[in-house]
Structure 1
């Protein structure tokens, strides 16, 4: 698979140009750092998010295992699907992105703290940071693993909007947290998932992005 996905628009096939290696490296580092900061914001307020990050949060809250390790382990089964369906380049970049996110989400709390962070602000700020970071990663032919791989595959093959599909999956994952936390935190987590996926739905559309 090419470094940037091939996208179709009505009446024409539009092939996206390749990014250079240093551009991909910069984007993966920047995008995963944004998402890691969003994850730290969510975690500080006791909120969750969707996707494999949400599953990792559930493992973290339920077992005490660090989010970084849980996130890395949860993603392992999805690499086989990514290799077969999305290609080796996508899979290698995704593995790198997942590794960077695991590393950054472990490092950031050691140099960053909050005296006070309201759940409402955490939901909005965390959602926007994660959404912006995921957009950067997506646009360089990678994902953050797990359900992101499935969502991008459905958009590439069936034209299903990534943000809308992700929103449905994320909502189900966040609602699944009702058995281990209070409904107020779940409600704020749902808001965070909505903010995140609206950013994806509005900005990650087939035919809209041209790599430069």
Structure 2
């Protein structure tokens, strides 16, 4: 997942943002600015220089696990861009519309960055600063990305002009929003409540096949005044689909309610710390 996410960030940066000189934050944006001034220095090499400094900072402040994942992602992005630059040295814009280039580039990069942050890593560079801010303030990671990236956007305005700078600021805002949306989407779970005559089989399936636990409530039906068990559990999307298929096979008259939850804390899910 981290390698796929790294490829998305590299692809969006090199093929969409770089041709239009859109420095939409991060070390990739800073590298684009420097490359536009010093054409002989490859973007990938510039990014590697930044990475060495920032990942050291990440290891010290956040920890070695985060640092190790970040090293992998940041160097993967740099190497992939370097390869792309050697294979396609004179890459041109897909569209003459700079706004379209920006939107597609940010969509691709933001999706990749959201996956990376969700795996408790970062793409390196200024994203490490964002992760550190997030650790101590609990502000959403997307909003934390805004803070260092705005600095890059200011330099982009100086180097590329007001128009490019405005595009960069728009890109940063879009990127922040997409990162948060991707993380929310990846952490969406299903809170399921089930009433069934095959309750024992369903409980065993949840625990043994899905490797999840469940909570049991006693309930009384208003229509027939009969006693029932309500089985509640929290599952990811794939687990819910498997459970639903199983329930349909053994009891197609079961009553199921499903709610989406955006965050689950505790054993088996995200840490509360």
Which category describes the TM-score, using the shorter chain as reference length? 0.7 to 0.9
Alignment counterpart, residue 13 of structure 2, candidates 29, 36, 39 = 39
Supply the distance in 2 between the matched residues of 1:99 and 1:144 (Cα, whole angstroms). 9
Confirm or deny: 8 A CA contact 2:114 2:180 kept in the other structure. Answer: no
Alignment counterpart, residue 167 of structure 2, candidates 180, 188, 195 = 188
Alignment size in residue pairs: 185
Higher helix share: 1
Confirm or deny: 8 A CA contact 1:45 1:117 kept in the other structure. Answer: no
Supply the distance in 1 between the matched residues of 2:165 and 2:117 (Cα, whole angstroms). 27
Confirm or deny: 8 A CA contact 1:128 1:199 kept in the other structure. Answer: yes
Supply the distance in 2 between the matched residues of 1:137 and 1:117 (Cα, whole angstroms). 31
User: Please, what TM-score do these two structures have when normalized by structure 2?
Assistant: 0.62
Give the superposition deviation at 1:68. Answer: 0.5
Question: Which sits farther off after the overlay, 181-190 or 36-45?
Answer: 181-190
Deviations 1:113-167 (A, max 9, x none): 6553421011111111111000111122211112211211222332112111212
Match runs of 1:11-160 below 5 Å: 27-40=1-14, 41-64=16-39, 65-109=41-85, 110=87, 114=93, 116-160=95-139
Deviations 1:7-65 (A, max 9, x none): xxxxxxxxxxxxxxxxxxxx111001100111011001221121222222222112221
Instruction: Decide which structure has the larger Cα Rg and report it.
Output: 2
Supply the distance in 2 between the matched residues of 1:90 and 1:119 (Cα, whole angstroms). 35
Give the superposition deviation at 1:179. Answer: 2.2
User: Please, what TM-score do these two structures have when normalized by structure 1?
Assistant: 0.78
Give the superposition deviation at 1:177. Answer: 1.8
Confirm or deny: 8 A CA contact 2:26 2:149 kept in the other structure. Answer: yes
Root-mean-square deviation (CA), in Å?
Answer: 2.2
Residue in structure 1 matched with residue 145 of structure 2 by the alignment:
166
Q: Which runs of 4+ in 1 moved over 4 A?
A: 111-115
Larger RCO: 1 or 2 (CA < 8 Å, sep 6+): 1
Supply the distance in 1 between the matched residues of 2:94 and 2:107 (Cα, whole angstroms). 21
Q: For residues 178 and 157 of structure 1, do their structure 2 counterparts lie closer, same or farther at Cα, with a shift above 3 Å needed?
A: closer
Q: Any unmatched runs of 5+ in structure 1?
A: 1-26
Q: For residues 85 and 199 of structure 1, do their structure 2 counterparts lie closer, same or farther at Cα, with a shift above 3 Å needed?
A: same
